[in-house]
């Protein structure tokens, strides 16, 4: 059974947690992805398990569809991750592997595709390896149900995700 970990905001520290077990096999830690600009969490609407479901922000709850693990991916400087949802087991991706601003963030069966590889940087941004764009909430909307998109990376708080 997967366990949830309550999200904790650590000022000035980026955390990617992996807890070794007795066999030294990493165990995923799940927490919410909280948007610093909007005060909402990344969610899978209706707790869907379907490929292609467009991800949204929602008032933060303890529902499994709002819990994500950051799993290290080989390459880079050790900062590459795959973002997996606790409820569906699917990964954060960009629809159609698009490189365009405004393309929707979706969930999809986890794979090695670069549209599912993200760089979680020191500014708390998730930058997509395929598009070189960041996960964002358009116009810093604070409305629950607003779709998450990718956008040219900048310093806007709507691109800052605390895990």
Over residues 113-163, the pLDDT tens digits come to 999 999 999 999 999 999 999 999 999 999 999 999 999 999 999 999 998
- CB atoms under 10 Å from CB of 143, counted, come to 12
For residue 137, give the nearest of 27, 22, 31, 38 by alpha carbon: 38
For residue 107, give the nearest of 97, 123, 95, 124 by alpha carbon: 95
Domains of the chain: 18-162 (2.80.10.50)
pLDDT over 70, % of the chain = 84
CA dihedral 88, 90, 96, 102 (to 10 degrees): 70
């Amino acid at each position: 059974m997967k366990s949830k970990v309550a999200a904790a905001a650590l000022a000035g520290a980026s955390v990617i947690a992996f807890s070794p077990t007795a066999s030294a096999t990493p165990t995923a830690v799940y927490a919410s992805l909280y948007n610093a600009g909007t005060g909402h969490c990344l969610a899978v609407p209706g707790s869907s398990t379907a490929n292609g479901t467009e991800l949204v922000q929602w008032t933060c709850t303890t529902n499994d569809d709002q819990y994500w693990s950051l799993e290290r991916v080989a390459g880079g400087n050790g900062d590459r991750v795959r973002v997996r949802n606790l409820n569906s087991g699917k990964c954060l991706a960009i629809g159609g592997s698009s490189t365009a601003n405004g393309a929707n963030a979706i969930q999809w069966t986890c794979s090695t595709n670069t549209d599912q590889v993200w760089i979680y940087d020191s500014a708390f941004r998730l930058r997509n390896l395929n598009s070189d764009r960041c996960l964002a909430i358009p116009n810093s909307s604070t409305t629950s149900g607003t779709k998450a998109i990718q956008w040219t990376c900048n310093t806007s708080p709507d691109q800052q995700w605390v895990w």
